[in-house]
Chain A
Amino acid sequence: MKPLTNWRWNSVRGEYETGNPVPIEGTGEISAVDAFANKTMLLLGGTGFVGKVVLAMILDRFPELKCLVVQVRRKKNLTGEERFYMEILHSPPLRTIVERIGGEEVLRKKVQVVEGDFNQPLCGIPPGAIEQLKDKVDVVVNLAGVVDFDPPVNESFDTNIFGTEHLIELAQLLNAKLVHVSTSYVAGKKNGRIPEDVSIGYFPFRDADDGRHFSVAEEIRWYETFVDEMRQNRAGDQRPLRERLREGGMNRAEYWGWTNTYTYTKSMGEQLIARTPGLTYSIVRPAIVESSLHFPFAGWNEGFTTSAPLVLMGGDGVKGWPVRNGPLEIIPVDLVASGILIVTAAVLCGKNKRVYHLASADENPIMLPRLVAFLGMNSRYKHKHKKSGSRLANLWKAYVDTHVITVESLAARRARVHRGLDVIHAALTLGKTILGPEKVGPYLKSLRDTRRQIRQQEVTLDKFLPFMFHNSFIFETRNIREAARMLTNEDLKRVQWDPKIIDWADYWVNIHTKGIEKWIRPVFAGRRG
């Protein structure tokens, strides 16, 4: 795919244009340029999907920043510093940016790499470095977190809860302000408009008023007993420990009304921050983060807990999609990075709100049935010209279009597919005894592969059902819009909050799907292989 930096959709004029964006007027109450000038920022989690784009954007757009301290975890035999300069700066989103701002030498003057581990006290930053950073760091921006939906519960707690405790300690010790990146989905199983606030003791089923009370301290106690029990295996369960821990987290999340372990632990992390007295903070909650619109180049994606698995499944020819007629809350990664920088500027100026949603449906929603149709068109394009594989299957995948189904018919469909596979399996086993394993073996193997692939698809789809079918919500984004309006005109040339300009059809077809096919599919294929 060619980078399409020069094409942008102008929804005001209704055409593609190649020139500069229409200037937007700001009131100038916050000046991001002044806010960042001569300041020091400590960035945690700058190695992830969003983190790298934030890193690239701050280096590219705000050269006024005096010093950027980046925390990088040591990995295998690479130190944090080696990893930063040899691995991270050479990743696709940073490579071009580093060149543009004058190469590694310029960076070395501005960037300081500290080693650390989020799961250790004070985020594992060595005492020497802490001494040196004390009262020097103005703001801590945290993007670290376990983003898997259903990891073993201890992994999630270690990073998203205990890690956040370490983060608060660190910010207090450094006497710095805090920008913490969470997720919009901490709202849990709710419907309708989700307001931008954080309240202590929140859980999604609270409105039901069934006498339950939620507290983080109580949950930590539950967690300790639970993990203890699992480790000693008092229940006599034969499954591996990881599996049982995974299930335990999901069940606990479900009990309170969260969709998965990730959102459950992230919500608790937020509550820990909110209850800390004297801490200046903002919580940034992006929705589902997707391929970039323009920056560092259109279509950059490396997120696996995004819609990528669904897009790949659609490309593989899955036809029936259980979705409701509501919006999917997605947001391009460069808008998220812009949003985080705008919030950071607001925090530095002392004009921040407590919570910022970074989402699209409030201003410019994309409805799920439209996305289902796009998945079908992608499958058509891919399978029409495909030379490999079964010709009949390719025809089916190319010419039968995707359609919206209900969860009930999904269950019936699955049962039918598995019955069919069972029958084929029985026939092949019979064939094997009559004709011998040489002739039938390959067919049995391909049947096993198909079955495995179908199971995998089922698991993925189930993970995404809460976002696609069970709940329908719109995250309010008033705070970020307000913050963006308060910027100066100079700032608005550098960062913008403008989900309104996204032309979803063009974005999904020409940027997002192609980005996923280019950047995510090879990695997925590698993982499976």
Chain B
Amino acid sequence: MNKAAFYDLDGTLLSCNLVTMHAYYARNDRSLIKSAYQLTKVLLSVPLFFGLDLYSRSLFNIFSFRAYRGMHRDRLIGLADDLFEVTLKPSIFPRAQALINTTSELGYRNILVTGTLDFTIRPIALHFGIEEVICNRLEFNNHIATGRVLPPLLAENEKARSIRVYAAREGIDLAQSCAFSDSSADVPMLSSVGFPVATNPTRRLRRVALQRNWPILELREASSTFPPFLKPAKAS
């Protein structure tokens, strides 16, 4: 039977931030004047995003994808590598690659499960050497983003559902699988596998992890040790 390691991305393997990503696309618009205009828009919307994030995660998601409205798909794909180099690569946590290598050596299929968009994920997945991705996709109308996400929107409960569907299709045994996430929003996803790991947990998730006796892992610190089930001796 197959086993898999499900990874959340944002906050778990790297700390990317929606605002810096939007700011990147804004300042790389086709001309300098357009860039300046877009950048002002992003800066003005920062307080709104903060407020929304505190109020409701799913509302925040909907609004954050709205920011892509009117952008050409070619541009989003064409600038993805640069975005990765500029904003994402520097924010990868020191132990992230080591963790991914360990799980794949132990025979887990590495799968990214994230709300980030497909074109942004691609260079990240290649960088980590992850070949399977479950992620959000924007809706396009004649190559122009409409600002909506193709349903289902991948977040919270939907993440748990989609990994169950994926596991059934690919013949993955969830009881033997592990999952890594940093946020309490991913508790449903973490609970659906046999070996959940609270990775760089937020305060709320840390509390849940302590209650349920889940291992806690810090990828931000180079000296952190991996949970016991990832030790080769035990796994074999």
A residues with CB within 8 A of B: 2, 4, 6-7, 14-16, 18, 370, 373-374, 377-378, 380-381, 384-385, 399, 401, 505-506, 509-510
- Pairs across A and B, CB under 8 Å, 18 listed: A4-B126, A6-B131, A7-B122, A7-B131, A14-B150, A15-B137, A16-B118, A18-B131, A18-B132, A373-B30, A377-B79, A380-B82, A381-B81, A384-B86, A385-B85, A505-B73, A509-B74, A509-B78
Is B28's CB within 8 Å of the partner chain A? yes
For B81, list chain A residues within 8 Å (CB). 381, 509
Interface residue tally of chain B, by bracket?
20 to 34
Question: Given contacts A7-B131, A377-B74, could you give 13 more A-B pairs where the C-beta distance is less than 8 Å?
Answer: A4-B126, A15-B137, A16-B118, A16-B122, A16-B133, A18-B131, A373-B72, A373-B78, A377-B75, A377-B78, A377-B79, A505-B77, A510-B77
For A370, list chain B residues within 8 Å (CB). 74
- A10 to chain B minimum Cβ distance, whole angstroms, is 11
- A505 to chain B minimum Cβ distance, whole angstroms, is 4
- A118 to chain B minimum Cβ distance, whole angstroms, is 41
- With A14-B137, A15-B118, A399-B32 as known contacts, state yes or no: A384 contacts B82, CB within 8 Å: yes
Are B31 and A401 in contact, CB atoms less than 8 angstroms apart?
A: yes
State in angstroms the CA–CA spacing of A377 and B30 once bound together: 9
Tell me the nearest residue of chain B to A504, going by C-beta. B74
Q: Tell me the B128-142 residues at the A interface (CB within 8 Å).
A: 131-133, 137
For A381, list chain B residues within 8 Å (CB). 79, 81-82, 85
For B143, list chain A residues within 8 Å (CB). 505
For B133, list chain A residues within 8 Å (CB). 16
Are A506 and B126 in contact, CB atoms less than 8 angstroms apart?
A: no
State in angstroms the CA–CA spacing of A76 and B150 once bound together: 60
B residues with CB within 8 A of A: 28, 30-32, 72-75, 77-82, 85-86, 118, 122, 126, 131-133, 137, 143, 150
Residue among A18, A374, A381 with max Cβ neighbours from chain B (10 Å) = A381
State in angstroms the CA–CA spacing of A509 and B80 once bound together: 10
State in angstroms the CA–CA spacing of A469 and B71 once bound together: 27
- A12 to chain B minimum Cβ distance, whole angstroms, is 13
For B85, list chain A residues within 8 Å (CB). 381, 385
State in angstroms the CA–CA spacing of A378 and B79 once bound together: 8
Tell me the nearest residue of chain B to A506, going by C-beta. B77
Are B78 and A505 in contact, CB atoms less than 8 angstroms apart?
A: yes
State in angstroms the CA–CA spacing of A373 and B126 once bound together: 24
State in angstroms the CA–CA spacing of A373 and B122 once bound together: 20
For B86, list chain A residues within 8 Å (CB). 384
Tell me the nearest residue of chain A to B83, going by C-beta. A381
